[in-house]
């Protein structure tokens, strides 16, 4: 997954000239939160009761990365 995310970032920032990528991850999914963290994303916010799954609301973490941050890694 880490290599896949790096590939998507490279494509988005270099080919499509995207300015910002955002990723939403369930806040209690620690393994999934490590992927954007290890790719250089910044944790912007914890969004309370943001996703409705299996008839209950869950918190999500919002991770983001800007194009100049990607280039300066």
Bridge-based pairing state of the strands 20-26 and 56-66: antiparallel
| Amino acid 69: pLDDT | 97
Count of beta carbons in the 10 Å neighbourhood of residue 41:
24
- pLDDT digits 0-9 by tens, 14-72: 999 999 999 999 999 999 999 999 999 999 999 999 999 999 999 999 999 999 999 99
Cα separation values, 59 from 28, 44, 62, Å: 8, 14, 10
pLDDT tens across 2-22, in order?
999 999 999 999 999 999 999
pLDDT for residue 39: 97
d(CA 44, CA 55): 26
């Amino acid at each position: 997954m880490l290599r896949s995310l790096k590939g998507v970032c490279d494509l988005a920032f270099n080919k499509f000239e995207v300015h910002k990528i955002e990723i939403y991850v369930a806040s209690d999914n620690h393994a999934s939160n490590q992927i954007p963290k290890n790719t250089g994303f910044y944790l912007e916010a914890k969004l309370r009761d943001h996703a409705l799954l299996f008839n209950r609301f869950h918190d999500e973490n919002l991770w983001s990365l800007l194009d100049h941050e990607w280039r300066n890694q």
